[in-house]
Amino acid sequence: MTARGLTAMAALAFVLRAAPLLLAQGPVLPASAGVEVAQAKCIGCHEADLIVSQRLSQTGWEREVAKMERWGATLPADERPRLVGYLTRQFGLRPAVSHDAAAVAAGEAVFKEACRMCHDDDLSEQQRLSAAAWGREVDKMVRWGAKVSAEEKPALVAYLTSRWGA
C-alpha cells in the first residue's frame, strides 16, 4: 500500500473512532443537585436539547413530569421533588427584564397590527430572543413586507423582549 493510501486509511480510522464523540457533542444537562435524577429518568427517552430548550414554571414542570409518569415513566416519590426542583432551577421561567411600560404598551399595539397578520403568539413565544436579536428579527420581517416604521420599531422590540425575551 502506498503512503497516501496508509494516510487515508489512518484518517478514516480516526474519523470512525471519533464519530460517536463528535455526534455526542450536543447540549448537556448542567451539573446541579438533582441532575442525576434527570439523567437517569429523562435522558433515556429525551435528548438533553429538548430539556434545555424548555422554560416552564414549577407548576409547568410538575405537570410535565406527571404527564411523563402517565405515559409510563417510573419515578419514585422521593425523587419527584428533586427532579422538579432541578428542572425548575435550571430551566424555569426567567424574570422579564423591566421595560418602559408605555413603550411596551405601544409595542403591543404594533405587534397586534403588524405581526399577528401572519403570526400567532406561539411562534413568537418559541423564539426567546434578546433585544438585539428581536431587533434583527423585526428588520428581517420589515424587509419581507411587515408594516413597521422606524419610529415603531423600538416599542415593538421592547414589547417582544418583555414578553418573549431570552
CA dihedral (3, 9, 13, 14) positive or negative: positive
Contacts of 75 (CB under 8 A, 6+ apart): 37, 41, 65, 68, 69, 83
Strand partners, 165: 129
**Cell digits of residue 158:** 421592547
What's the pLDDT score for residue 35? Answer: 94
**Cell digits of residue 75:** 419515578
Domains 3-91 and 101-164 belong to one CATH topology: yes
**Per-domain residue ranges of the chain:** 3-91, 101-164
What's the pLDDT score for residue 93? Answer: 72
Q: Over the chain, what is the mean pLDDT?
A: 83
Average pLDDT over residues 157-161: 90
CATH entry, 3-91, from 1.20.1260.10, 1.10.760.10, 3.40.190.10, 3.40.50.10860: 1.10.760.10
CA distance 50 to 126: 13
pLDDT in tens, 94-147: 655 556 788 888 999 999 999 988 888 877 877 778 888 899 999 999 999 999
What is the pLDDT confidence band of residue 22, given thresholds at 50, 70 and 90?
Answer: very low
What's the pLDDT score for residue 136? Answer: 92
What is the pLDDT confidence band of residue 42, given thresholds at 50, 70 and 90?
Answer: very high
158 has a pLDDT exceeding 60: yes
Note the pTM of the prediction, 2 decimals: 0.47
CATH entry, 101-164, from 1.20.1740, 1.10.20, 1.10.760, 3.40.50: 1.10.760
What's the pLDDT score for residue 19? Answer: 46
